[in-house]
Amino acid sequence: MRAATRSISIEAHPAWVFEYVSNPANLPQWSRSFCLSVTQQDEAWIIETPHGPVQVYIQAFSDSGVVDQYLFPSPEVQVHIPMRVLPNGSGTEFIFTLFQPDDISDEDYRQEVYWVEQELMILKQVLEESGHLQA
């Protein structure tokens, strides 16, 4: 399976970046091409995407900066999106990996990678404008 890993330096404290990206409620603010809206239903988070509703589960470990996002577009399909939050000087390095599923064409995958790159720039802007340079 092919993978594209992208990273971006963010001038915000790693603890704040971790808290922000590990909260599904924040997805519509930075993952704008993918997450049109998000709602919580009991223990589950449901995001509305251009392709319909998707259940999302986030497994996050603050001590290591691991944020693993699991998407369930249907009960039999799971998409894993690993993200990492790492200290980088006085700021943060945010790392996002997108795998290419077998049923996605190369052209569609390139388009998805493009949108990830755009969303990382939005994430940087949102977090840097928040002014959270300290935990």
64 domain-assigned:
yes
135 domain-assigned:
no
CB-CB contact of 54 with 70 (8 Å): no
Residue 8 sits in a domain whose CATH number is: 3.30.530.20
Residue 132 pLDDT:
67
Please state whether 85 falls in left (phi above 0), alpha (psi between -120 and 50) or beta. beta
CB-CB contact of 60 with 45 (8 Å): no
Three-class SS state of 17: helix
**Long-range Cβ contacts of 109-117 (<8 Å, 24+ apart):** 109/2, 109/4, 113/4, 113/6, 115/33, 115/34, 116/4, 116/6, 117/6
Range of the domain at 118: 3-129
Residue 6 pLDDT:
98
- State how far Cα 24 lies from the chain centre: 9
Residue 130 pLDDT:
83
58 domain-assigned:
yes
111 domain-assigned:
yes
Number of domains in the chain: 1
| Residuewise pLDDT in 10s, the chain (135 residues) | 799 999 999 999 999 999 999 999 999 999 998 999 999 988 889 999 998 999 999 999 999 999 999 999 988 999 999 999 999 999 999 999 999 988 899 999 999 999 999 999 999 999 999 876 655
134 domain-assigned:
no
- pTM of this prediction? 0.91
Neighbour count for residue 80 (Cβ, 10 Å):
12
14 domain-assigned:
yes
